[in-house]
Each structure stands twice: as structure tokens, then as C-alpha cells.
């Protein structure tokens, strides 16, 4: 009986910790950042960043809008000014391609450098 109660309490604690990952205020702030980034208006973007006190170096490498990184989201929305502004904060990706003549054409990716 006690063993079952302990397991149930542990499972309940894990569900609360999983739901507490993002507060409603944080979700609203990040949605506003995504919308301001897609607008391609630097003033609106800067004002949104300032009003929510967003740390660019912590948010932009991790922010995902509509399933895309924020940088790619801005580019696909035609927001080239916003994409240029946040480009220094994005994580780089290095691609090494073998240029030897082979039957197979494949790419080698180095993710972390």
C-alpha cells in the first residue's frame, strides 16, 4: 500500500514539473517576439524585446516559432532585417562535403565545433 502511494506521488510530482516548464507570461512573451520578428520592423522588434526584457543570447539559439528556428522563421517570413539583427546569436552549423569523385554524393555534418 505504501509502495503504491509513493509511486503515485512520484508520478504526480513528475507531471507537475513537466507542465511547469513554461509559464503563461513566458509563452505570451515568446509569441510576441515571434510576431514582432516576422513583421520586419526593427522598432517594433526592439520595443518588444525591451518591454519583455528578453536576453538575446539566451533566447535566440533556443527559440522555435512554428517548428523552425527563430532565424529561419524570420527569413521565411521575409523579415530580412530581423534575421540580420539576430544572426550573431544563432548557433552555427558547419558542413563538410567530400569533393572526391565517387559514385555516391553524400554530406558529412559536424554539428558541434
pLDDT single digits (tens) 23-71: 888 889 999 999 999 999 999 999 999 999 999 888 888 889 988 889 9
pLDDT digits (tens, 9 = 90+) for 67-96: 888 999 999 999 999 999 998 888 766 666
- For 7, the grid coordinates are 509511486
How far does Cα 103 stand from its chain's mean position? 37
- For 31, the grid coordinates are 509569441
pLDDT beyond 50 at 18:
no
Give the pLDDT of residue 82. Answer: 92
Give the pLDDT of residue 93. Answer: 64
Give the pLDDT of residue 84. Answer: 92
- State how far the Cα of 61 lies from the Cα of 97, in Å rounded to an integer: 25
Give the pLDDT of residue 16. Answer: 47
- State how far the Cα of 79 lies from the Cα of 38, in Å rounded to an integer: 6
pLDDT beyond 60 at 105:
no
Give the pLDDT of residue 101. Answer: 52
pTM over 0.75? The answer is no
Amino acid at each position: 500500500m505504501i509502495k503504491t502511494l509513493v509511486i503515485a506521488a512520484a508520478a504526480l510530482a513528475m507531471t507537475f514539473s513537466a507542465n511547469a516548464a513554461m509559464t503563461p507570461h513566458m509563452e505570451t512573451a515568446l509569441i510576441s517576439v515571434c510576431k514582432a520578428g516576422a513583421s520586419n520592423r526593427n522598432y517594433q522588434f526592439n520595443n518588444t524585446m525591451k518591454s519583455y526584457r528578453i536576453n538575446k543570447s539566451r533566447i535566440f539559439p533556443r527559440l522555435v516559432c512554428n517548428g523552425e528556428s527563430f532565424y529561419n522563421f524570420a527569413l521565411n517570413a521575409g523579415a530580412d532585417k530581423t534575421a540580420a539583427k539576430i544572426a550573431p546569436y544563432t548557433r552555427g552549423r558547419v558542413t563538410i562535403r567530400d569533393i572526391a569523385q565517387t559514385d555516391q554524393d553524400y554530406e558529412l555534418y559536424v554539428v558541434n565545433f
